[in-house]
């Protein structure tokens, strides 16, 4: 016999009550684990452990829930359990409504203490100075490439990378008036302006383009003038009471931004291997023929795959000297990785491991 909607609602209510009981049991167990870790002096937050939990559940999932839904649900469960002790203080490029805020919540869950900052420099300063336990900073965009300021800050910062997350970025044109007509200026972060330049050239060729510290800050600015528009998230539209004039105006439909999660080593040491890891480092070599080849040869010899290789001027006063930012597949404790880095280090004039951490998703 087919069940009625009333019957199904009764069944759903019963399942919800059972889930509530199980969630509270899980929270109690998590509290016990936290108590033991504090007595032992070990780290309470283990991002690689959380990544392993989510990965295992995704593998065991028989549906109909999707893998992304499993990750989102369990990340929030773990976030809520951590917050029973104290919400984690997380710094990011603000104000409220930025993609950086969204990335922070995607990694830690929503049960955090938000520390919005006005610049990338302030995110690093807040995290290094103890105002925040962790920071979340953009490092790379699939359309515009690396975020150069973030890479430069890593050179002089004591912070290291303990995790990553990436977002499918949807840029929307926002405005106080619900019309595309008579827009005199568009405000957004320079990266967003660059990621939407083809759309802007086609639809608003005469509008001035103004750089803002963040997309959400641009949305805050244009809320005061009906002649201005902003490029920002749907969250920013809601935050500042703006209309979405044109959704998804980014030039690349699959536009993604990758974010790094950073902290002091005293806050959280390098995570252990999760089985799905990335190792990031920055190096430089003496400018001479064959130097870059010598840099890459140990990686090839030991079978270590490289997923990113970026160069930045060294700003040493000498022309054509560069720092190289490299992402390698694997954990620093893997035998092949350890052997490759042992052979690589003596070749380098500058060598710094930025982090070895679980790959998100």
Active-site amino acid positions: 257, 259
- Cis before residue 95, ω within 30 degrees of 0? yes
Question: What distance in Å separates the CA atoms of residue 216 and residue 222, rounded to the nearest whole number?
Answer: 10
CA–chain centroid gap for 339, Å, is 29
Question: What distance in Å separates the CA atoms of residue 180 and residue 203, rounded to the nearest whole number?
Answer: 9
How large is the angle between the packed helices 67-83 and 5-40, nearest 10 degrees? 50
DSSP line for 128-172: HHTS-SEEEEEEEETTTEE-HHHHHHHHH-S-EEEEEEEEE---E
Residue with tokens 């336990």: 133
DSSP line for 175-225: ESSS-STT--EEEE-HHHHHHTHHHHHHH-TTSEEEE-SSHHHHHHHHTT-
Do 163 and 133 meet the contact criterion of CB atoms below 8 Å apart? Answer: no
Residue with tokens 């759309």: 199
b/e code 247-284 from CB counts within 10 Å (16+ = b)? eebbbeeebebbbbbbbbeebbebbbbbebbbbbbbbb
- For the CA atoms of the chain, what is the radius of gyration? 23
Question: What distance in Å separates the CA atoms of residue 93 and residue 234, rounded to the nearest whole number?
Answer: 17
């Amino acid at each position: 016999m087919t069940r009625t909607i009333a019957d199904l609602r009764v069944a759903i209510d019963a399942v919800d009550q059972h889930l509530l009981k199980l969630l509270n049991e899980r929270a109690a167990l998590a509290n016990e684990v936290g108590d033991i870790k504090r007595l032992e002096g070990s780290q309470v937050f283990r991002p690689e452990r959380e990544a392993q939990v989510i990965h295992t559940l995704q593998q065991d999932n028989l549906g109909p829930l999707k893998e992304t839904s499993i990750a989102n649900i369990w990340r929030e469960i773990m976030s809520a359990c951590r917050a029973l002790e104290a919400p984690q203080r997380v710094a990011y490029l603000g104000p409220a409504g930025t993609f950086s805020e969204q990335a922070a919540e995607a990694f830690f869950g929503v049960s955090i203490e938000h520390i919005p900052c006005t610049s990338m420099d302030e995110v690093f300063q807040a995290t290094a100075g103890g105002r925040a336990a962790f920071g979340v900073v953009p490092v790379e965009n699939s359309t515009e490439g690396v975020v150069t300021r973030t890479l430069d800050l890593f050179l002089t910062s004591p912070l290291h990378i303990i995790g990553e997350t990436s977002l499918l970025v949807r840029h929307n044109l926002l405005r106080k008036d619900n019309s595309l007509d008579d827009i005199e200026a568009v405000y957004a972060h320079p990266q967003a302006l660059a990621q939407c330049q083809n759309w802007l050239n086609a639809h608003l060729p005469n509008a001035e383009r103004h750089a803002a510290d963040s997309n959400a800050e641009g949305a805050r600015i244009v809320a005061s003038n009906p002649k201005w528009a902003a490029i920002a998230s749907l969250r920013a539209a809601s935050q500042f009471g703006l209309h979405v004039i044109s959704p998804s105006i980014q030039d690349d439909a699959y536009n993604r931004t990758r974010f790094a999660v950073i902290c002091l080593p005293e806050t959280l040491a390098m995570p252990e291997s999760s089985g799905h890891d990335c190792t990031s480092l920055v190096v430089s070599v003496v400018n001479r023929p064959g130097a870059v080849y010598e840099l890459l040869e140990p990686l090839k010899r030991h079978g270590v795959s490289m997923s990113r290789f970026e160069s930045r001027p060294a700003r040493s006063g000498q022309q054509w000297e560069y720092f190289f930012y490299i992402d390698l597949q694997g954990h620093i404790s893997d035998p092949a990785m350890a052997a490759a880095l042992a052979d690589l280090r003596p070749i380098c004039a500058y060598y710094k491991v930025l982090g070895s951490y679980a790959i998100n998703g």
